[in-house]
Structure 1
Amino acid sequence: MLRLRDLTCGYGRSAVVHGIDLEVGADEVVSVMGHNGAGKTTLLRAVVGLLPAMSGTVELAGEDVTRRAANKRVKAGMAYVPQGQQCFAHLTAGENLRLVADGRKRGRALVDEQLDLFPALRPLLARQAGLLSGGQRQQLAIARALITEPRLLILDEPTEGIQPNVVAEIESTIVDLAKRGGLAVLLVEQHLGFALQAADRYYVLRSGRVASAGATGAGAETSVREAMAI
């Protein structure tokens, strides 16, 4: 679903991510790990088109989207949930969902489907989004992204500042979505337990380069810790 080939990107003339090769298969969850400053968020911003590639290519479902604007990539099937449980704080939770669903053929059904995935949001639909807890806002942010019916869901630190019980719910939802088929997930995460349990494969970035990659499972945590020098 996603293939990065020798991707280099950064800010201005300064490269932050260097020569990254990365793949996410259809219906696969892939995690990207690394310390702060390793280049994880920069990589995601280049994937979704918020940063230009200095060199290399970004392919979505076999199609080169390297030079496409971010909104064109969304139309092609990418959805991005950045750090910080972002939402329209002055709107209610329900209004946040309907804003994305408006104009879509299955708008109302799409909202209902996300509320089935995140039932904790149902009693909060009339509450201003800015008054929700961090975990509730994160669920809302993911639900909004899923309303666009993406082929690739990109999540940046979805567990940051979230209480453990909500982390478990989000992990379960991500895994279930991938198992249903039709959705690949690229997950940037510092929470090793979450990243390795939710993902099928992993990459570790260090100083903007891939330091380790492999399948999750037996021995993966040791390899990740060694690559991160924890």
Structure 2
Amino acid sequence: MLQIDGIQVGYGRSVVLHGVSLDVPADGVAAVMGHNGAGKSTLLRAVIGLLRPRQGSVRLDGEDVTRLAPHERVARGMAYVPQGQQSFPHLTTAENLQLVADGRRGGREAMAEALDLFPALRGLMGRRAGLLSGGQRQQLAIARALITRPRLLLLDEPTEGIQPSVVAEIQQTVLALTARGGLSVLLVEQHVGFALRAAERYYVLESGRVTSTGAGGAGAEQAVRAALAV
């Protein structure tokens, strides 16, 4: 679904990603892991179009989207959930969801489907997003992205700072979404166990370079932890 080939990305004179290549399988999950400052979030920003690679290419389902603007990539089926459980804090849960659903064909049905995936949000529809817990805001952020019915979902640190029970719920949701088909996920994550349980393939970034890659699953945890310890 997604092919990244040798992209170099930076800010000003500083280069952050040095020729990074990776693939996200159709209807599957690829996980990117690494320490803070490794370039993980920069990678997602380049994929969604917020940063333009100086070299290399980004292809979505065979189409070269390297030069497309973010809104054009969204129109082609990308959705991005940035780090930090972002929402409009002064709007209610319902209003946050309706901002995406309103005016979109099938928006009401897509909103109902997203709430089915995160049923805890149904009891919070009238509460301002700024008053939700971190885990609830993260569920809201993912639900908003899913209303667009993406083909590729980009998740940046979805488990950061949230309680273990919600981590498990997000993992189950990601697995359920990919199992039913039609959705691929590029997951940036520091929670190694979560990432490997969800992913078919993993990549470890170190100083903007892929230093380790392999098949996902619990059997890969030792290799990943060894790569992260370097």
Question: Could you say which TM-score interval applies, normalised by the shorter chain?
Answer: over 0.9
How do 1:17-166 residues align onto structure 2 when only pairs under 5 Å count? Answer: 17-166=17-166
Asked if the contact 2:135–2:166 (Cα under 8 Å) also holds between the matched residues in 1, the reply is: yes
Q: Runs in 1 of length 4+ with deviation above 6 angstroms?
A: none
For residues 115-167 of structure 1, give each alpha carbon's deviation from its aligned partner in whole angstroms, at most 9, with x where no partner exists: 10000000100100110000000000000000011000000000000000000
Q: 213-222 or 68-77, which moves further after superposition?
A: 213-222
Question: What letter is aligned with 1:100?
Answer: V
Asked if the contact 2:7–2:21 (Cα under 8 Å) also holds between the matched residues in 1, the reply is: yes
Distance 1:165 1:229 in 2: 27
Deviation at 1:217, TM superposition (A): 2.7
Aligned length: 230
Normalising to structure 2: TM-score of the pair?
Answer: 0.98
Question: What letter is aligned with 2:15?
Answer: A
Question: Structure 1 residues 197 and 102, CA, compared in 2 at 3 Å: closer, same or farther?
Answer: same
1:4 aligns with 4
Distance 2:16 2:107 in 1: 39
Supply the RMSD in Å over aligned alpha carbons.
0.9
Question: What letter is aligned with 1:113?
Answer: E
Deviation at 1:229, TM superposition (A): 1.6
Deviation at 1:55, TM superposition (A): 0.3
2:200 aligns with 200
2:176 aligns with 176
Q: Matched residue of 2:66: which SS?
A: coil
Asked if the contact 2:197–2:218 (Cα under 8 Å) also holds between the matched residues in 1, the reply is: no
Structure 1 portions without partners, runs of 5+: none
Distance 1:218 1:89 in 2: 37
What's the % identity of the aligned pairs?
70
Structure 2 portions without partners, runs of 5+: none
Q: 217-226 or 167-176, which moves further after superposition?
A: 217-226
Question: What letter is aligned with 2:55?
Answer: S
Distance 1:165 1:218 in 2: 19
Deviation at 1:10, TM superposition (A): 1.2
Distance 1:162 1:204 in 2: 23
Asked if the contact 2:6–2:21 (Cα under 8 Å) also holds between the matched residues in 1, the reply is: yes
